[in-house]
């Protein structure tokens, strides 16, 4: 295991599949099949930018003004997105997770989220990565170690690739019946049907000029209970599926238009989420995690084709 700016590098292998998970934030650093890059990750010596591969706990996305009310308390979180005056992407991205298991095709890392200003709750979080015939499977389980119910949400932030120089040529399918219109701060204004809009991606469409930083909900699922977002090469010969299983009720799509110039539109961030942005305030799909209770989310990445 190699030391770097993101701590231990845990390499998982199964046949031609290789994935690397790092100690910092238990983030997914890379995933390849042979010479093919499945995600747009980061190098071992790089600093993580754009949220690449990061786990977003105890909330995904944004909380307006970092302020919310829970069990009669008015709580204030640090504004980690100062330009939008939002609390962004949770509290565990920049902390060291403890490696509890590391084998040829599996890694598990854990961390305690201690009570702190704005989030006076005590959680244990376990992230499990398993590489197999079906690709990479991720399970993240939170357990409430405290004596009162805690607000909880999860997200993760992989940038998916499909062998194109930019995402414009890639073909995207999103099995969602609604999209969330957002304001200039990236916060939801209303849930609207995708039918008749540029956000109707239930059939395959080239990404084209679409600029997405958009939450989707009301996901259609297959017989296994999975909602599958597909990014395919325009030839149709290969691509990458991101499946959302247990606990993942929303997905955010981001085409990277606000990243630094050299990083824009290289990939589509396909972000499984338990709840939409600002759920700590709206309560939409927010988990109330009681004392001793556990909550698990399962999602994964399946590369396919040549």
Helix extents (H) in 47-202: none
- What pLDDT shows up at residue 86? 98
Q: Is the peptide bond before 270 cis (omega within 30 degrees of 0)?
A: no
pLDDT tens digits along 104-115: 999 999 999 999
Predicted local confidence at residue 146, as pLDDT: 97
Q: What is the per-residue pLDDT for 264?
A: 95
pLDDT digits (tens, 9 = 90+) for 161-171: 999 999 999 99
Residue position matching structure tokens 């590098």: 9
39, 68 contact by CB (below 8 A)? no
Task: Say which residue, 262 or 56, is predicted with more confidence.
Answer: 56
Ordered by start, the domain boundaries in the chain are 9-305
Mean pLDDT, rounded, for 172-189:
97
Report the C-alpha gap between 127 and 54 in whole angstroms: 11
Across 1-15, 97-111, 269-283, least confident range: 1-15
Mean pLDDT of 169-187: 97
Closest listed residue to residue 188, CA positions, set 280, 259, 265, 267? 280
Cβ atoms of 77 and 70 within 8 Å: the answer is no
Q: How many residues does the chain have?
A: 306
Q: What CATH class does 9-305 carry? A: mainly beta
Cβ-contact 295, 287 below 8 angstroms: yes
Give 196-231 pLDDT, tens digit per residue: 999 999 999 999 999 999 999 999 999 999 999 999
pTM for the model stands at 0.96
Say if residue 2's pLDDT is above 60.
Answer: no
Number of C-beta neighbours around residue 65 at 10 A: 17
Classify burial at 158, counting beta carbons within 10 Å of its beta carbon; exposed 0-12, middle 13-18, buried 19 or more. Answer: buried
CA distances from 249 to 156, 180, 219, 271 (A): 13, 13, 7, 11
- Across all residues in the chain, what is the average pLDDT? 97
What pLDDT score was predicted for residue 3? Answer: 53
Tokens of 22: 């790092």
State the pLDDT at residue 1.
45
Q: What is the mean pLDDT of residues 93-116?
A: 98
């Amino acid at each position: 295991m190699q030391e770097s700016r993101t701590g231990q590098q845990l390499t998982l292998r199964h046949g031609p599949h290789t994935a690397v998970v790092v100690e910092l934030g238990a983030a997914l650093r890379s995933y390849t099949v042979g010479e093919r890059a499945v995600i747009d990750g980061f190098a071992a010596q790089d600093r993580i930018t754009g949220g690449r591969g990061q786990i977003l706990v105890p909330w995904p996305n944004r909380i307006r003004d970092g302020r919310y009310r829970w069990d009669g308390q008015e709580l204030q979180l640090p504004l980690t997105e100062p330009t939008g005056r939002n609390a962004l992407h949770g509290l565990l991205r920049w902390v060291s997770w403890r490696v509890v298991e590391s084998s040829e095709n599996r890694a598990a890392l854990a961390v305690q989220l201690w009570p702190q200003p704005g989030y006076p709750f005590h959680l244990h979080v376990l992230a499990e990565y398993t590489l197999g015939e079906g690709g990479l499977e991720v399970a993240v389980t939170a357990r409430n170690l405290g004596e009162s119910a805690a607000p909880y949400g999860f997200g993760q932030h992989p940038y998916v690739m499909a062998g194109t120089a930019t995402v414009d040529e890639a073909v995207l399918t999103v099995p969602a019946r609604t999209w969330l219109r957002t304001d200039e701060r990236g916060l939801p204004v209303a849930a609207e049907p995708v039918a008749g809009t540029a956000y109707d991606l239930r059939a395959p469409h080239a990404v084209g000029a679409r600029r997405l930083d958009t939450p989707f909900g009301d996901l259609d699922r297959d017989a296994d209970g999975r909602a599958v977002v597909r990014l395919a090469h325009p030839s149709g010969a290969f691509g990458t599926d991101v499946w959302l299983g247990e606990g993942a009720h929303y997905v955010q799509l981001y085409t990277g238009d606000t990243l630094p110039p050299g990083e824009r539109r290289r990939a589509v961030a396909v972000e499984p989420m338990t709840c939409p942005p600002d759920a700590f305030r709206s309560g939409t799909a927010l988990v109330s995690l009681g004392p001793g209770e556990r909550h698990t989310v399962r999602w994964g990445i399946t590369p396919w084709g040549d």
